[in-house]
Amino acid sequence: MEEKQQLADYEDHLSTDSGPKSFFYNSSTGEILGRSPLSWGKILLFSLVFSFFTTFIFAISLWTFYQALDSHTPKLQLNGSFIGSNPGLGFRPLLKETRPYSSLIHFIHGGSGTWGEHKENLVDFLVQYDPGHWANAGTSQTKCHWTSGPRSTQDACEFNKEWLSSIGADIKCIEEENFGYSFGKPCILIKLNKIYGWNPQPFYNVTEVEEHPTMPNSLKTRIQDTWRKECYGKGEEIEAKCPQLNMVWLHCDGETAADKENIGPVSYTPYQGFPAYYFPFYNQIGYLQPIVMLQLLAPSPGVIMSIECTPWAKGMVHDRTKKRNDPL
What's the pLDDT tens digit per position in 124-137? 999 999 887 776 56
Is there a cis peptide before residue 290, judged by omega within 30 degrees of 0?
Answer: no
Please report the pLDDT score of residue 55 as a whole number: 95
Domain ranges (residues) in the chain: 2-67, 78-202+246-312
Q: Give the percent of the chain with pLDDT over 70.
A: 82
Please report the pLDDT score of residue 327 as a whole number: 45
Amino acid at 30: G
CB contact burial 62-97 (16+ within 10 A = b; e otherwise): eeeeeeeeeeeebeeebeeeebebbbbbebbbbbee
pLDDT band at 224 (very low <50, low <70, confident <90, very high): very high
- Return the CATH number of the domain spanning residue range 78-202+246-312: 2.60.40.1660
Q: Give the percent of the chain with pLDDT over 90.
A: 46
Alpha-carbon gap, residue 56 to 39, rounded angstroms: 26
Does residue 7 register a pLDDT over 70? no
Average pLDDT over residues 193-218: 91
What's the pLDDT tens digit per position in 18-72? 556 665 666 676 676 767 777 888 889 999 999 999 999 999 999 988 887 777 7
Query: What are the C-alpha distances in Å from 272 to residues 32, 73, 223, 248?
Result: 80, 31, 10, 9
- Concatenated DSSP letters for 92-151? E---TTT-TT--------STTSS-HHHHHHHHHHHGGGSTTHHHHTT---B---TT--PP
Alpha-carbon gap, residue 92 to 14, rounded angstroms: 79
Cβ neighbours for 107, distance < 8 A, ≥ 6 positions apart: 113, 114, 115, 118, 181, 186
pLDDT band at 150 (very low <50, low <70, confident <90, very high): low
What's the pLDDT tens digit per position in 90-121? 999 988 766 666 788 888 888 878 899 999 99
Task: Judge contact between 279 and 246, C-beta under 8 A.
Answer: no
Does residue 315 register a pLDDT over 50? yes
Backbone angles phi, psi at 117, to 5 degrees: -70, -30
- Stronger pLDDT, 123 or 13, i.e. the higher one: 123
3-state DSSP: the chain helix, strand, coil percent, rounded to 5? Answer: 40, 15, 50
Q: Mean pLDDT: which of 34-43, 166-175, 218-227 is highest? A: 218-227
Please report the pLDDT score of residue 166 as a whole number: 62
pLDDT band at 319 (very low <50, low <70, confident <90, very high): confident
Does residue 323 register a pLDDT over 60? no
Helix (H, G, I), strand (E, B) or coil at 214: coil
* pTM for this model (two decimals): 0.77
Amino acid at 253: D
Please report the pLDDT score of residue 168 as a whole number: 55
Average pLDDT over residues 70-95: 83
